[in-house]
A = this chain, B = another copy of it.
Amino acid sequence: MPSLEVCLTHELIHLYPPTDKNVVVVDILRATSCMVTALANGVESITPVASVDECRELQQKGYLAAAERNGQHVEGFDLGNSPLSYIDNDFTGRKLAMTTTNGTLAITKSKAAKEVLIGAFLNLSALAEYLKSKTDDLLIVCSGWKGKVSFEDTLFAGALVGQLQSSYEMDCDSAVIALELFKSSKNDLLSAIQKSSHYNRLQKLNIERDFEFCVTVDKYPIVPVLMDGVLVRVPG
């Protein structure tokens, strides 16, 4: 069986070299939840970029552009970091450029992987099914918050580990911790996530609806994958 490890923040990724592995990048609040929602609602592709400047350059070339720093929408961009912005808007066929505080950085640091996939509660089971068919080792990279471990990303890692534990070998305490956390929280993810510092930080920004949306399980049966630096849906 291939092995499964969890890296609880991209700040520790040097200890888990992604080469020769598949990597799932996780940033539940809200980058990867946005990515899944955007691709499920007509956006053709997403170019994750590290800086606000790169994002602006692509915007000038006609891309739809989303930029977030410290949990807030950056002025001058079409979109911020709310997954709800991709619903009830017609972005069919548009290319999207996106930069966020943590999630896009985690993607950048994972680029050496065989496949970089995007995980969120919104596409949990579709992603798990896809990964069950793989024979390569797997690394789940939680984005965290400015290098620190985040509750909601760890919670999701645990949910994914739970679905994969009979298909992958685990010799990783972070995976065990994440799984235990998910088990104790799975009956009420919304209450669980309200224990996170992210919730307390962002609550001021009136994003209750975003939180509720981001813990919705299996809303979109899609798997985003990075191909030539651009996120697209795995066909099928």
Q: A11-B15, A180-B185, A181-B181 are in contact. Are A173 and B151 (CB under 8 A)?
A: yes
Chosen A-B contacts, 13 in total, with CB atoms closer than 8 Å, are: A8-B8, A9-B12, A145-B173, A148-B172, A148-B173, A151-B177, A171-B197, A177-B181, A180-B180, A180-B181, A180-B184, A180-B195, A183-B184
When C-beta atoms are compared, the residue in chain B nearest to A146 turns out to be: B15
Indicate if the CB atoms of A196 and B184 lie closer than 8 Å: no
Indicate if the CB atoms of B176 and A151 lie closer than 8 Å: yes
Q: Which residues of A line the B interface, CB within 8 A? A: 8-9, 11-12, 15, 145-151, 154, 171-174, 176-177, 180-181, 183-185, 195-198, 200
Chain A binding surface SS class: helix
Q: Which residues of B contact A184 (CB under 8 A)?
A: 180, 183-184
Question: Roughly how many angstroms separate A55 CA and B195 CA in the complex, as a whole number?
Answer: 44
